[in-house]
Amino acid sequence: MSQLNHECGIAAVYHLPSENESPLCGGLGAEQASRLLPRMLQDIQNRGQLAAGITSFNQSRDQLIDTHKDIGSVSEVFRLSHRQKCEALMREYSGAAAIGHVRYATCGRDDRSYAQPFERHHLQKHKWFSFGFNGQLANYQQLRDKLLSDDDHHLARETDTEIIMHEISRELSGDRRPPLVEMMRSISERFDGAYSIVFLNALGDMLVARDPLGIKPVCYAKEGPLFAAASESVALLNLGFQPENIKSLPPGSAITIENGKFDIQQYAPIQRRAHCFFEWIYFANVASTLDSRSVYLSRTALGVELAKLEVAEGTVPLDENTIVVPVPDTSKAAADSMAFELGIPSREGLIRNRYSGRTFIEGGAQRRQRAEVKYTPLPEVLDGKRIFLVEDSIVRSTTMKALLHRIRGLGGAKEIHVRVACPPIVAPCFYGIDMSTERELFAPKFLKGGALTQQVQTEMAEALGCDSLRYLPVESISRAVGFPEKDLCQACITGNYPTEVGQRLYQIACEESKTATEAELRTYERHPAFTSAE
């Protein structure tokens, strides 16, 4: 069965009714606010490079809301390198309000129909809507089965985005015209998982919502008549919003713009928070600030944790032949910080091919091939050196094994000591990151449910082909990010999930991993309870 598991990015912009123009629109007028979307999507393209799209609202157009989306990068989809074609698109999809989406996917077809936003046409304006979604519904299969139990319903795709579209449509069916926050409140009661949503209808009403656990990030800003929101703060900062006006949307809250009125309301009770720690470790742009925690400073703090670990063990000489080398780009802040604390140089001994993408989100043979060309070792830096190779995480180990081989063969490094600014990934993610089976993960086959001992790490190092390997302990993450452990989702490093369905799926995954083989399908494909997307 085709399925998609990925991390995505969402964005929204709205020029509210006003006699004043926003200077951030460049003096182009309120109906040109949609022009800001491609720039915003570029700034969060680290979250998705497979497809991109926008939906804009323009009350002067026959197509009150209209969607442009396609397979490709933001630059390709919006023809940013071709001035005339880009300008034609911007004129065609101009509007005072717009939502946007970038998408990562690892399996399934490169099919435009999976690209977002998803638009649903209807004769009634409040039922004609478009939306984009970042996350994953852990209870996708139950929702899907319930919908299909009625012979009148049909689903064209294996994606929980389509499930959300049907759930929204159900809330708007008949004569019901609920306020958007009430619509969100109702559908959230049926969802288990992670989701951040941007929504726009043919009345020009907009909703931006974040799940009650706050697993996925959403940032927003409002200055004068201009409102904007995005998965990460960097997209808002680069538009020109002042840093003090950029805030994170609280979990379980929704921003609504209805009849031109801006409002923020809580739509769901908050029992706990569960921010995805992997945002700070890997996914988010290093220039972003999420929930008042700087991504850069968090990664710097991880480097301090690595240095403390090294000083405590003291097994690797810290002399003139020892250097720290980051695996570009997400490990650089941690590597530089570690080197500073240890008093040794940090050197860029690896140059990344910036067009290779993120290999841990690729499938099978494609991942192996891209890992081979992802980095170029510099022998001028590495030859004869003892290096601390700092990586943000090891998921499947495909990239790390290929990298170690190239560093020794082409770089000429004397010793390679891998230091990972993250604990071992031991459990699948059911909330939108492509780590779908325990079997495909590197660490569990060594840990076997036990503790991370020095002997286990020695066995891992031998399997990878490095001289030594050290992971950070779990408690380092909360110290570095600045949240207590109870406020973070650390399921992939602890096996403790923040939702009931997530925990149940993990139990099934553990049972299935005992009999699964490498050649078998992924967990989501093998077991109907795991069939999910987005």
Catalytic positions, please?
8
**Residue 490, both tokens:** 């650390």
Partners of 415 in the β-ladder: 386
Q: Are 47 and 41 in contact (CB under 8 A)?
A: no
Structure tokens at 315: 């097994």
- What is the rounded distance in angstroms from the CA atom of residue 430 to the CA atom of residue 195? 12
Q: Which residues pair with 66 in a beta bridge?
A: 56
Task: Give the residue among 73, 159, 153 at the shortest CA–CA distance from 113.
Answer: 159
CB contact at 8 A, 253 and 197: no
CA-based nearest residue to 50, from 136, 110, 113: 110
**H or E element, residue 14:** strand 8-15
Q: Write down the residue that tokens 């399925």 correspond to.
A: 3
Alpha carbon 154 to chain centroid, angstroms? 29
Record the tokens describing residue 447, joined without a space: 């840990």
The count of other CB atoms within 10 Å of the CB of residue 127 is 18
Q: Alpha helices of 111-265 — where are they, by DSSP H?
A: 140-148, 160-171, 180-188, 234-237
Block residue for tokens 């779908």 = 436
AA letter at 314: G
Neighbours of 122 (CB within 10 A): 13
Q: Tell me which residue has tokens 């393209």.
A: 45
Distance CA 435, CA 443 (A): 12
CA angle 251, 253, 258 (to 5 degrees): 160
State phi, psi for 517 to the nearest 5 degrees.
-115, 160
| Listed residue (328, 304, 343) closest to 476, CA to CA | 304
Residue in 84, 107, 27 with CA at minimum distance from that of residue 530: 107
Cα–Cα distance between 398 and 403 in angstroms, integer?
A: 9
Q: Going along 224-311, which residue ranges are E strands?
A: 226-230, 246-248, 253-258, 261-266, 275-276, 289-290, 293-294
- Position 304, amino acid: V
Of residues 407, 419, 422, the one with CA closest to residue 371 = 407
Report the distance separating Cα 138 and Cα 215, nearest Å.
13
User: 198, 123, 206, 126: which is closest to 164 by C-alpha?
Assistant: 198
